[in-house]
Amino acid sequence: MGLRIYNSLTNQTDEFVPIEDGEVSMYNCGPTVYDYFHIGNARTFLIADVIRRYLEYKGYQVKFVQNFTDIDNKIINRANEKGVSASQLSKKYIDAYFEDSQKLGIRSADVHPKATDHIPEMIQLIQQMIDKEIAYEVDGDVYYRIHKFSDYGKLSNRKPEDLLSGARVDIDKRKENPRDFDLWKSVKPNEPSWSCPWGCGRPGWHIECSAMAMKHLGESIDIHAGGQDLQFPHHENEIAQSEVLTGKTFARYWIHTAFLRISGNRMGKSEQNFIYVRDALKDYPAETIRHFLISAHYRSPLDYNEASLSDSNSAVRRLYNCLSRISSYSEFADSGIDVGGSEIAHTTSAMMTSFESAMDEDFNTALAVGEIYKLVGHVNRFLTQEQEQLMEADRVALGVAYQSLTKVCMVLGIYTELESTTNRNTLLVNQLMELVIDIRKDSRARKDWVTADKVRDWLHEAGIELQDTPSGTNWKWKGN
Ligand SMILES: [Zn+2]
């Protein structure tokens, strides 16, 4: 069975068929860079990262674009408060985005376009809309006539006539229709501005993403992703701007990530209840935070709390402990020995099938993680019971289990080869433990019981247990 994606555009789970065979173009709405990003923002960026990694795992060549909104009301206000320019402020937070996202194991996009580098493209789109009478200019502001686009509301399932009810409406007498949205804002004091055929000013937020997505990925893209809060009006307006000009479907699959909640409320800047990623990373390793953020399906709400983080922390340690116990068998994996009868081999192959089924069904990371831990539990039980008489086939099967586990964990980013502190620390601990075990072995061979006992006592205090077996000495953290 192939990949299926819940598509906000069709309100159903659709089979994924890219425009070009074997290739995927994907656009994710990036941060507005006026502050550090918080764990709630991180969920959206991380889910896009996992989707991208899984598409690559399936063999697609993915072109992934994530923008920076570096001109916006919030940026201008914050820059004026701080007495710096909007570009100085946005540069600081673009650098911080890269620093924090890399620590969190979120890969950089293929292109990270900045809105301010695409002003000519935006002006061109707006001019085309003015020429076609889709847009109109009043005192240097330019608005989009939503009644000119008959499909307006198709993403958010809102009819233009319903748009006035409920939502807060900007009452501006200069607009023909209160729901017409701005494409361009005329210049104001203390604001950056660019010149254009209808006067100086700056772009509206929605036109930024239409211009950047179409410039870097073409008029039709496969996947457009973003947080649930962007579905309306941001994404609805992106569709309206792009499709009214091209006559083509702007994005075929729309993916929206649910909110991260804290104490029952949405985590957000406006709610003042957020935790910066850089602060969370002081308390937990990156893999723990990633593990937590993918522990629920991306369309389900997820609650940020200490207990869940602590559970994820233990789970990641259990995973790493298992991987370190079987990493030495990796070299046997390609030996060509038949492991058909091995229980570990059977469980590994079942895990791979279930992992792919879970991810193929709208990227169900919660189920996928569960499948990984079934195998981890099985390997741990097997090692405890069978360690003393491992057969050749068992070693090979454990090697295959190691390779399979690292492969799927890398897709989810909960195991990152040599990239992360946790992993570096784990490797370092393993190397030091090999050394310590060697010292103890040599001491015992020399009948130096004082040193040998000292080593055992010291390890005991550090929470490490040794297990002597005929094939050598193994170690584990107590309680694992
Ligand atoms: Zn956007």
Task: Please tell me the distance between residue 30's alpha carbon and the centre of ligand 1 in angstroms.
Answer: 7
Structure tokens at 240: 């309206």
pLDDT for the residue numbered 160: 67
Span between the terminal Cα atoms of the chain, in Å: 37
Predicted structure pTM score: 0.86
Q: Give me ligand 1 centre to Cα 39, in Å.
A: 19
Mean pLDDT value of segment 218-241: 97
Q: Rounded to an integer, what distance in angstroms lies between the CA atom of residue 44 and that of residue 27?
A: 12
Cα of 342 to ligand 1 centre, how many Å? Answer: 50
| Mean pLDDT confidence for 348-358 | 98
Greatest Cα pair distance, the chain, in angstroms, is 94
pLDDT at residue 444 greater than cutoff 60: yes
State the Cα–Cα distance between residues 322 and 297, nearest whole angstrom: 25
> How close is the Cα of 291 to the center of ligand 1, in Å?
26
Q: Is the dihedral of CA 312, 315, 321, 326 positive or negative?
A: negative
Q: What is the pLDDT of residue 478?
A: 73
Instruction: Report CA(356)–ligand 1 centroid distance (Å).
Output: 30
Residue 301: count other Cβ atoms within 10 Å of its Cβ: 12
DSSP letter string, 170-208: ---TTSSSTT-EEEEEE--TT---B--TT-SEEE-HHHH
Local confidence band at 421 (pLDDT 50, 70, 90 cut-offs): low
Which range has the worst mean pLDDT, 193-207, 292-306, 330-344? Answer: 330-344
Q: Distance of CA 253 to CAs 59, 247, 373, Å?
A: 19, 17, 31
SS (H, E, C) 297-309: CCCCCEEECHHHH
Give the Cβ contact number of residue 284 at 10 Å. Answer: 18
CA geometry: angle 58, 30, 62, nearest 5 deg: 20
Confidence class for position 418, pLDDT limits 50, 70, 90:
very low
CB-CB neighbours of 5 under 10 Å: 22
Instruction: For domain 317-419, say whether CATH 1.10.10.10 is its number.
Output: no
Q: Which fold has domain 19-283?
A: Rossmann fold (3.40.50)
392-412 vs 365-386: helix axis angle to the nearest 10?
A: 150
What beta strand segments (E) does 258-372 contain?
260-262, 265-266, 302-304
Ligand 1 center–CA 31 separation, angstroms: 9
Among 145-154, 184-193, 321-330, 413-422, the minimum mean pLDDT is found in 413-422
Structure confidence at residue 170 (pLDDT): 56
pLDDT at 411: 95
Q: Tens of pLDDT along 13-25?
A: 999 999 999 999 9
Quick check: helix, strand or coil at residue 55?
helix
Q: Is the pLDDT of residue 419 over 50?
A: no
Element (H, E) at 450: helix 449-461
388 or 401: whose pLDDT is higher? 401
CB-based contact 43:296 (threshold 8 Å):
no
Task: Read off the tokens for 37.
Answer: 């990003």
CA 69/CA 86 separation, integer angstroms: 11
Domain limits, the chain: 19-283, 317-419, 420-480
CA of residue 209 to ligand 1 center, whole Å = 5
Residue 305 Cα, ligand 1 centroid: separation in angstroms?
29
pLDDT above 80 for 319: yes
442 three-state secondary structure = helix
What mean pLDDT, rounded, does the chain reach? 91
pLDDT at 166 over 70: no
Give me the pLDDT at residue 165, please. Answer: 47
